[in-house]
């Protein structure tokens, strides 16, 4: 038995069916055409005949069927049924066969109306959605059983054809029905307009139209796009987009430097950023600039602070802030001089119909335009998405040059909000297309291709790469290209709807993957974004550490309110997380990493030169904050006492090395002596000398792995944990020998602990210990066990700390023996 597709024909009742010559002539013609398409006659009776095709020959079977439908339009139409299933050849010369698929196809043909093609619901192409159906037909078979079949849409039978019809919609038609609102938002200079717009009401489009009509010499469009939670992220993106489309103004040196820092993600203080906005939008030849803020309640607090300071005089430019209808203006913007307020809701009926026609380029019947304007609830996005869904399903069909309802019942369902039409249409997305869209949505609905690829391909493979799917997505109106190398979702309503379609577990996994990717690709301020994703994914401890790091960066940039908000967020996620302490004025009082970097210094020194650990040594301290050099040094002498008494400072030793002929003439000797001084510099906390040593070591070409590890610890010491951790993680992946891999793992664990991520530090150090034992590397084993003792004590596990101390002692004795 083999899987086959069966097409059955029933003759219409009437004169042709009773004429033997007519029946024979038509059946012979149909049989000839079926054979030309690869089919074979499998059964016939006095008024019916059936043909079967290979299961993979759907296109041939469908093409053959539609040929018969087209040819019969001028005469008496046939009644046709199609089913799929196993068929068994009867072994007769005529190729006859029987199976349940034949039975189902004949029953469907029997209940079909003339001209109908009824499909069995079990046909594979029906279940996958590849065939377009136009309603259900039910009838009673000769044996009294109820038969159900789906009507094939004979005008647009293939889903690919109906989806292609969506590409005919106009992406951005002329603005309709909002002239009065535009007039009100042309506010005086130095003042602000407030636009209240429900999702899908066209608020973003109205802001774009306002900018087009005012034609300012320069503008800033602030919106929650890529990295929406990064302090000053929205302002940074606004300046970058402005630079992409228009020439910058002449800026004073201080503001030019501030702009460079802002664009690089370093951050600047609010006052300087507000001055930059004022200078950017200053009048040119009597023409003023324009500032628009879209979805203000989703903008980061630091950017809103800048807006609140820049808008009042001397900010002589126009500004418009958009929020939702039911939202309150963010408190930080309460001081801006609002002189006009506009609310956007559904369009009037006539305007909604006009907009439906505009989306179709005028090529739609008046009846269809009225029906689909109603289905979209009169909301611009709802109308567009209802039209797109109608074209996708075939309810709205392109007949020649005009779009019209498929039949008298099409377009008469209940009106629905835009997100419902979006969800329905999303069922036809290919897996790679859906994954790419979800990736963009999670990243702020507007993101660079390489970051989207990094997230979406983790979840759906290479088929989710932007280069593979962007043409299809942009053509169907799901997305657009805001600039080269970026992809943006058509609306934030669409982005929210797509994320809302994920079940809870899948959504958490997406957030986890997005957070992992972003953590490796953002600066210190940008860590606020992976902190959010980690929190949503349930990784509260990691989220708290990342939020604390972002808070520290915000405090360092002078963004007091943003830093305080991030500190509160970190503490809400993990009350025990170490956070920076700020004064009432926002000054950084305590950097929690100041002591922690000394931990990394001491353990790194122990890896190379530390002596055996004695079980009688003092127990590790009870908290990570007390792991100071004093608690680790012999006899409580502290950092200065770590080493032989009277030892020259590392800076002096490096200076003297430059006068040593043996070291100057032999790079190997120079490298060996520098590597020892490197650890001393780290222990002493002399970062400038450490930099000098690293430069000299790079010149020798020796100890590259050690140089990279030390460079990473320097970054940690300078308050750049993201880059430092990234370098150490890359070193783990790049290590070529078991010994190098062990040391890279331990260094990474030390760095994680210095950044406050104790759980991951413990995991990496345990892995380092296992690898050290596999490689029979006693020194690395001792160092790993020593650090595990400190970690255990810091995490409130004194018994475990004691055990690890004994392991370190055993390893040290084996090393000494």
CA–CA gap between residue 343 and residue 325 (Å, rounded):
7
The pLDDT value given to residue 466 = 97
Least trusted range by pLDDT, from 268-277, 367-376, 490-499, 694-703: 694-703
| Per-residue pLDDT reduced to its tens digit, 275-329 | 999 999 998 888 889 999 999 999 999 999 999 999 877 668 999 999 999 899 9
pLDDT band for 720, please (50, 70, 90 cuts): confident
pLDDT band for 611, please (50, 70, 90 cuts): very low
The pLDDT value given to residue 703 = 65
H-helix or E-strand spanning residue 380? helix 380-393
CA–CA gap between residue 438 and residue 50 (Å, rounded):
46
Average pLDDT over residues 396-419: 89
Contact 333, 307 (CB under 8 A): yes
pLDDT band for 774, please (50, 70, 90 cuts): confident
The pLDDT value given to residue 771 = 87
pLDDT band for 520, please (50, 70, 90 cuts): confident
The pLDDT value given to residue 815 = 61
- Is the peptide bond prior to 179 cis by the omega test (within 30 degrees of 0)? no
Provide the b/e sequence for 538-566 (b: ≥16 CB within 10 Å).
Answer: ebebbbbbbbbbbbbbbbbbbbbbbbbbb
Answer yes or no: is pLDDT of 358 > 80.
Answer: yes
Give the angle subtended at the CA of 218 by the CAs of 293 and 223, to the nearest 5°. 20
Structure tokens at 242: 């402005």
Rounded to whole angstroms, what are the CA distances from 591 to 393, 547, 556, 565? 59, 14, 10, 17
Nearest to 234 by CA among 189, 171, 299: 299
The pLDDT value given to residue 761 = 84
DSSP character for 420?
H
Q: Give the residues across from 402 on adjacent strands.
A: 399
Secondary structure in 3-state letters for 145-207: CEEEEEEECCCCCEHHHHHHHHHHCCCCCCCCCCHHHHHHHCCCCCCEEEEEECCCCCHHHHH
Answer yes or no: is pLDDT of 593 > 70.
Answer: no
Answer yes or no: is pLDDT of 755 > 70.
Answer: yes
Answer yes or no: is pLDDT of 626 > 50.
Answer: no
Most confidently modeled of 193-197, 612-616, 788-792, 807-811? 193-197
Answer yes or no: is pLDDT of 401 > 50.
Answer: yes
| Per-residue pLDDT reduced to its tens digit, 677-691 | 766 676 666 777 777
Least trusted range by pLDDT, from 134-143, 461-470, 535-544: 134-143
Average pLDDT over residues 580-600: 59
Mean pLDDT of the chain: 84
If one compares 105 and 814, the residue with the highest pLDDT of the two is 105
Q: How many CB atoms lie within 10 A of CB 81?
A: 28
The pLDDT value given to residue 90 = 83
If one compares 228 and 22, the residue with the highest pLDDT of the two is 228
Answer yes or no: is pLDDT of 614 > 50.
Answer: no
Nearest to 487 by CA among 453, 460, 526: 453
Rounded to whole angstroms, what are the CA distances from 276 to 253, 254, 262, 282, 559? 11, 10, 10, 10, 16
pTM of the complete model: 0.70
Answer yes or no: is pLDDT of 645 > 90.
Answer: no
If one compares 490 and 664, the residue with the highest pLDDT of the two is 490
Average pLDDT over residues 461-479: 96
Torsion of CA 358, 364, 369, 375, to 10 degrees: -100
CA–CA gap between residue 407 and residue 390 (Å, rounded):
12
| CA–centroid distance for 356 within its chain | 31
Least trusted range by pLDDT, from 15-29, 52-66, 202-216, 272-286: 15-29
SS3 769: helix
Answer yes or no: is pLDDT of 507 > 80.
Answer: yes
The pLDDT value given to residue 631 = 28
pLDDT band for 387, please (50, 70, 90 cuts): very high
Rounded to whole angstroms, what are the CA distances from 574 to 530, 531, 548, 755? 16, 12, 10, 15
Q: Give residue for tokens 């940074």.
A: 236
The pLDDT value given to residue 15 = 44
Least trusted range by pLDDT, from 117-121, 144-148, 794-798: 794-798
Average pLDDT over residues 412-420: 93
Percent of all residues in the chain with a pLDDT value above 70, rounded to a whole number: 84
Q: Are strands 219-222 and 290-293 parallel, antiparallel or unpaired?
A: parallel
The pLDDT value given to residue 14 = 55
H-helix or E-strand spanning residue 593? helix 593-609
Average pLDDT over residues 720-740: 79
SS3 539: coil
pLDDT band for 22, please (50, 70, 90 cuts): low
Answer yes or no: is pLDDT of 137 > 60.
Answer: yes
Contacts of 453 (CB under 8 A, 6+ apart): 439, 464, 465, 466
Least trusted range by pLDDT, from 77-91, 222-236, 607-621, 714-728: 607-621
Average pLDDT over residues 179-205: 93
Q: CA torsion sign, 241 to 243 to 246 to 251?
A: positive
Contact 389, 378 (CB under 8 A): no
Average pLDDT over residues 617-629: 31
Answer yes or no: is pLDDT of 420 > 80.
Answer: yes
Structure tokens at 724: 């430092």
């Amino acid at each position: 038995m083999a899987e086959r597709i069966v097409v059955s024909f029933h003759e219409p009742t009437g004169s042709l069916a009773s004429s033997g010559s007519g029946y024979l002539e038509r059946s012979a013609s149909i049989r000839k055409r079926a054979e030309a398409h690869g089919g074979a006659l499998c059964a016939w009776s006095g008024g019916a005949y059936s043909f079967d095709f290979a299961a993979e020959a759907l296109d041939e079977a469908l093409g053959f069927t539609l040929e018969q439908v087209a040819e019969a339009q001028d005469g008496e139409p046939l009644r046709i049924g199609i089913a799929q299933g196993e068929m068994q050849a009867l072994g007769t010369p005529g190729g006859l066969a029987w199976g349940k698929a034949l039975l189902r196809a004949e029953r469907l043909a029997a209940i079909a109306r003339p001209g109908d093609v009824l499909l069995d619901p079990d046909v594979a192409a029906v279940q996958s959605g590849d065939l377009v159906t136009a309603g259900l037909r039910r009838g009673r078979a000769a044996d009294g059983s109820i038969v159900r079949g789906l009507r094939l849409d004979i005008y647009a039978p293939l889903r690919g054809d109906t989806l292609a019809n969506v590409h005919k919609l106009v992406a951005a038609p002329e603005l309709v029905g909002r002239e009065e609102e535009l007039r009100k938002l042309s506010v005086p200079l130095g003042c602000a307009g407030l636009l209240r717009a429900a999702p899908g009401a066209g608020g973003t489009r109205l802001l774009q139209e306002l900018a087009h009509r005012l034609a300012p010499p320069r503008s800033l469009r602030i919106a929650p796009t890529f990295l929406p939670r990064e302090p000053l992220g929205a302002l940074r993106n606004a300046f970058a987009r402005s630079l992409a489309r228009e020439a910058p103004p002449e800026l004073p040196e201080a503001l030019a430097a501030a702009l460079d820092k802002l664009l690089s993600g370093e951050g600047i203080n609010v006052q300087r950023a507000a001055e930059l906005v004022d200078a950017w939008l200053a009048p040119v030849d009597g023409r003023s600039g324009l500032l628009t803020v879209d979805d203000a309640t989703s903008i980061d607090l630091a950017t809103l602070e800048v807006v609140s300071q820049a808008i009042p005089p001397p900010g002589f430019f126009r500004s418009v802030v958009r929020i939702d209808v039911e939202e309150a203006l963010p408190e930080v913007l309460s001081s801006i001089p609002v002189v006009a307020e506009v609310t956007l809701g559904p369009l009037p009926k006539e305007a909604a119909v006009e907009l439906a026609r505009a989306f179709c380029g005028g090529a739609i019947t008046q009846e269809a335009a009225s029906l689909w304007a109603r289905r979209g609830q009169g909301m611009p996005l709802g109308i567009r998405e209802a039209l797109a869904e109608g074209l996708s399903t075939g309810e709205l069909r392109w007949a020649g040059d005009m779009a019209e309802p498929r039949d008298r019942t099409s377009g008469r369902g209940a009106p629905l909000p835009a997100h419902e039409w979006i969800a329905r249409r999303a069922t036809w997305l290919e897996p790679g297309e859906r994954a790419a869209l979800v990736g963009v949505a999670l990243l702020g609905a507007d993101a660079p291709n390489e970051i989207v690829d990094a997230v979406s391909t983790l979840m759906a493979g290479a088929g989710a790469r932007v280069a593979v799917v962007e043409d299809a997505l942009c053509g169907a109106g799901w997305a657009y290209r805001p600039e080269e190398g970026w992809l943006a979702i058509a609306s934030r309503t669409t982005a929210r709807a797509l994320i809302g379609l994920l079940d809870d577990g899948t959504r958490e996994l997406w957030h986890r993957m997005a957070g992992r990717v972003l953590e490796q690709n953002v600066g210190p301020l940008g860590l606020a974004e992976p902190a959010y994703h980690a929190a949503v994914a349930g990784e509260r401890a990691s989220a708290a550490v990342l939020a604390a790091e972002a808070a520290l960066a915000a405090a360092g940039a002078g963004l007091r309110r943003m830093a305080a908000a991030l500190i509160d967020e970190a503490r809400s996620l993990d009350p025990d997380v170490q956070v920076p302490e700020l004064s009432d004025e926002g000054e950084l009082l305590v950097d929690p990493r100041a002591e922690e970097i000394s931990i990394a210094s001491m353990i790194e020194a122990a890896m190379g030169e530390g002596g055996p650990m004695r079980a009688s040594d003092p127990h590790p301290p009870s908290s990570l904050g007390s792991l100071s050099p004093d608690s680790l040094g012999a006899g409580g002498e502290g950092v200065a006492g770590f080493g032989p008494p009277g030892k020259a400072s590392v800076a002096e030793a490096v200076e003297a090395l430059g006068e040593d002929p043996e070291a100057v003439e032999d790079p190997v000797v120079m490298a060996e002596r520098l590597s020892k001084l490197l650890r001393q510099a780290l222990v002493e906390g002399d970062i400038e000398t450490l930099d000098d040593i690293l430069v000299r070591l790079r010149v020798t070409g020796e100890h590259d792995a050690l140089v990279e590890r030390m460079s990473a610890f320097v970054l940690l010491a300078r308050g750049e944990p993201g880059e430092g951790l990234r370098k150490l993680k890359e070193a783990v992946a790049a290590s070529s020998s078991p010994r190098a891999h062990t040391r890279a793992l331990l260094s990474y664990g030390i760095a994680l602990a210095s950044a406050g991520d104790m759980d991951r530090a413990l995991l990496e150090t345990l892995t380092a210990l296992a690898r050290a034992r596999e490689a029979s590397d006693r020194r690395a084993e001792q160092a790993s066990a020593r650090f595990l003792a400190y970690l255990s004590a810091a995490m409130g596990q004194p018994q475990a700390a004691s055990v690890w101390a004994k392991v370190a002692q055993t390893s040290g004795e084996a090393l000494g023996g």
